[in-house]
Structure 1
Amino acid sequence: MEEHTRQKSWFSRNWPWVVPLGGCLTLIIIFFVFLGSVIFGVSKAFTNSAPYQDGLTKAQQDEYVVQMLGEPIETNGLMSGSLKFENDEGSVDISIPIKGPDGEARIYIVGTKQNDTWTYSELYVILKENNETVDLLWGEGQNKN
């Protein structure tokens, strides 16, 4: 009579390395999903802030910036800098990359928030092509440099 030895399943033979590797991969995936959601949440909070929206709107409405970059002007990556606010007070010092069909630039915004109102001490665009500065506060009672 022939005896058949039953062969172990793939998992039975390989579980000593599959289980730890699977656990580590699961933890790595969870970490990156968490990190992505944090970055997305922070980015969304910045892009919905009044200084960000004000700066982008002013750049899109400035005739010279539109002439140099073309239309439509839209964001071109993640902003950098700091945005702090709590209740009725805060401060902003950010840089927003923008682009149009004809070029790229960065919007720079520096200001404070008091009594729930943002006041900007600096709001300008630096055009990437020629490094020219365009003051977006000009015409609002601010002195042009």
Structure 2
Amino acid sequence: MEETVHKQSWWKRNWKWALPTGGCLTIIVLIVAFAGTLFFGITSLMEDSDAYKQVLFNASKNQELIASIGEPITQEGIIGGSINNSNGFKTSELTIPLKGPNGAATVRVEGSGVGDTWTYTVMDAYIEGSDIIVDLLHTATHNPEETPELLIEE
């Protein structure tokens, strides 16, 4: 006597656990991918800003900051703040962590501008582990070929 055993497909036997697991895993992967894309998009937007470029230029030329944290000075960590652009008028409020071989600093920059002309009201480097604040607005060297036009608001 031969009996034919009809074996159900894998999906019919396992759908009750496979569907929720696969669906939840897909949703989690999509959320992580979206968050990563958003994070790197915003970070690159801030790194492309004129204020960011001006801070790195001024920091690399400021002798007091170089004496405090050493040279070369690089951006290390996550940039915080905001950049707004409304009808050509731009504002920027950023905190930029910098690192050198002898220490670290956080630069706070606030500025506004139209086109490539910026007016900075604050550009201070706070040396970590000390009470030293270095004013980067009055860095003597400025090369308009490398960075946007710098205007200092007194």
What TM-score do you get using the length of structure 1 for normalisation?
A: 0.86
Report the CA distance shift for 1:16/1:109 in structure 2 as closer, same or farther (over 3 A).
same
Could you say which residue in structure 2 is the equivalent of 1:106? 106
- Cα deviations across residues 2-46 of structure 1 (Å, max 9, x unaligned)? 646455454432111101220121111111101110111111011
Aligned ranges 1:84-95 → 2 under 5 Å: 84-95=84-95
Unaligned runs of 5+ in 1: none
Segments of 5+ residues of structure 2 without an aligned counterpart are: 141-150
- Tell me how far apart the structure 2 counterparts of residues 9 and 131 of structure 1 sit (CA, whole Å): 70
The RMSD of aligned alpha carbons is 2.3
Q: Describe the SS at the equivalent of 1:26.
A: helix
Partner of 2:131: 131
Amino acid at match of 2:76: N
Q: For residue 119 of structure 1, what is the aligned residue in structure 2?
A: 119
Contact (CA 8 Å) 2:107, 2:126: kept in 1 or not?
Answer: yes
Mapped pair 1:79 → 2:57 = no
Contact 2:69–2:99, Cα closer than 8 Å, also in 1: yes
Aligned length: 144
Alignment of 1:1-145 (within 5 A): 1=1, 3=3, 5=5, 7-8=7-8, 10-138=10-138
Q: CA deviation at 1:89?
A: 1.1
